[in-house]
Amino acid sequence: MNGPIFHNFDSAPTHVAPFSHAVECDGWIQLTGQMPTDPDDDSKPLPDGVEAQTRRVIENLIIVLNGLGLGLEHVLSCRVFITHFERDFEAMNAVYKSYFPPPDFPHDRLPARTCVGVTGLARGALVEIDMIAKRP
């Protein structure tokens, strides 16, 4: 067993708290939950609405995955946190579904997932998603 590797990427969004973008051990990778912040300009306002925020969050996670040399096809599990569960669950799912499964990937191979309603997220975000991935 190898010790953990702590990954941070200049191309990924600025940290909103003290954490690494991802931590890897023995090919297992925990990606920190991403906010819908602009990876090029942290001072920009968050996108309007849960659909745009979900899209930005997943795109931010893809930046981290790509920094690891991986893609969505390597994701085993996702946890979704939303602040207005009843209002935003279906809209968030519609955007999420557009990313999973990735193109050219069997449709019966979706990551495991948990979705939780929460009372608040950093930066006043409507959605946050984290992932667990595995190297092939």
Query: What residue ranges define each of the domains in the chain, with the CATH number in brackets?
Result: 5-134 (3.30.1330.40)
Euclidean distance between CA atoms 133 and 61, whole angstroms? 11
Average pLDDT along the chain: 94
- Predicted local distance difference test score (pLDDT) of residue 19: 94
User: For the segment 29-78, what is each residue's pLDDT rounded down to a tens digit?
Assistant: 999 999 999 999 989 999 999 999 999 999 999 999 999 999 999 999 99
CA–CA distance, 120 with 134 (Å, rounded to integer): 29
Give 97's contacts (C-beta < 8 A, 6+ positions apart).
Answer: none
Q: Are strands 22-25 and 75-82 parallel, antiparallel or unpaired?
A: unpaired
- The answer to whether the CB of 14 falls within 8 A of the CB of 37 is yes
